[in-house]
């Protein structure tokens, strides 16, 4: 193990991964009662992925000028987050107007997220070792229900979410809040994430930083254990 007394984890791409875009679209279509042939689903999925309309999914190939400001601040508040992602989705003509809100609502459902295969084991092992943990995420909505639905909430000591604190990673303020929530100095804390720039900001206050690969769940069966030095 690292010798750290506390570990901060990023959410998307680190502990959990959002469902594939085609599954996201199909769930929204079903919820809205809209039928679509497989080839149409595939076509719309590709366009939505290019637009970067799925939170936690593929980043936009480009951000339209009229969305640039809200995109830059998307994780500072629920309304900005919704406006950014529904705005990107509206760059793609969909068969029903209601689908734009249905897509946004779907990504917040616990069923839209899957924990990485070793997430529960790693969080459980840290708890057994007395290592305190927090989730530090750039996000515009409350992710706690996702952890509860997947049985991981009891293994997390604190949640530090950008929209609740008015700061986005790599802003050092968010990492300081997280360390304070664990009652530990930054030098005793490790940050684990998938984004060198955002999560690497923890290094600016003295935390150690280790990165995992942002891969589909099936392609990363044990990415967390190695970076934490835990035996398989």
Report which of 113, 100, 114, 87 is spatially closest to residue 28, judged by C-alpha positions: 100
Residue 1 within any structural domain of the chain: no
Q: Enter the pTM of the model.
A: 0.95
- Asked if 137 and 164 count as a contact pair (C-beta separation under 8 A), the reply is no
Residue 168 within any structural domain of the chain: yes
Mean pLDDT of 156-179: 97
Same domain, 39 and 49: yes
Same domain, 118 and 168: yes
Q: Note the pLDDT tens digit of each residue in 13-45.
A: 999 999 999 999 999 999 999 999 999 999 999
Count CB neighbours of 128 within 10 A.
Answer: 9
pLDDT of amino acid 106: 97
Structural domain boundaries, residue 84? 19-111
Same domain, 189 and 203: yes
Same domain, 212 and 156: yes
CATH number at residue 208: 3.40.50.1000
Q: What is the mean pLDDT of the chain?
A: 96
pLDDT of amino acid 230: 83
Report which of 61, 83, 55, 59 is spatially closest to residue 70, judged by C-alpha positions: 83
Q: How many folded domains does the chain comprise?
A: 2
Look at residue 112 and tell me whether its pLDDT is greater than 80.
yes
The 3-state DSSP class for residue 49 equals helix
Could you tell me the two tokens for 133? 């943990």
Residue 221 within any structural domain of the chain: yes
- Asked if 101 and 86 count as a contact pair (C-beta separation under 8 A), the reply is yes
């Amino acid at each position: 193990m690292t010798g750290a007394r506390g570990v901060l984890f990023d959410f998307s791409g680190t502990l959990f991964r959002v469902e594939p875009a085609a599954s996201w679209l199909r769930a929204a279509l079903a919820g809205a009662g809209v039928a679509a042939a497989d080839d149409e689903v595939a076509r719309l999925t590709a366009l939505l992925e290019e637009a970067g309309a799925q939170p936690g999914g593929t980043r936009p190939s480009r951000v339209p000028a009229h969305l640039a400001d809200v995109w830059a601040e998307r994780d500072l508040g629920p309304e900005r987050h919704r406006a950014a992602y529904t705005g990107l989705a509206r760059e793609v003509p969909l068969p029903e107007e209601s689908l734009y809100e249905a897509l946004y609502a779907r990504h917040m459902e616990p069923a839209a997220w899957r924990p990485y295969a070793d997430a529960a084991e790693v969080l459980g092992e840290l708890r057994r070792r007395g290592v305190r943990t927090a989730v530090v995420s750039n996000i515009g909505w409350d992710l706690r229900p996702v952890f509860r639905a997947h049985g991981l909430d009891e293994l997390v000591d604190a949640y530090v979410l950008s929209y609740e604190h008015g700061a986005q990673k790599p802003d050092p303020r968010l990492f300081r809040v997280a360390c304070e929530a664990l009652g530990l100095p930054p030098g005793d804390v490790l940050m684990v994430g998938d984004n060198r720039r955002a999560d690497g900001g923890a290094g600016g206050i003295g935390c150690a930083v280790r990165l995992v690969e942002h891969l589909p769940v099936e392609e990363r069966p044990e990415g967390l254990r190695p970076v934490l030095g835990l035996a398989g």
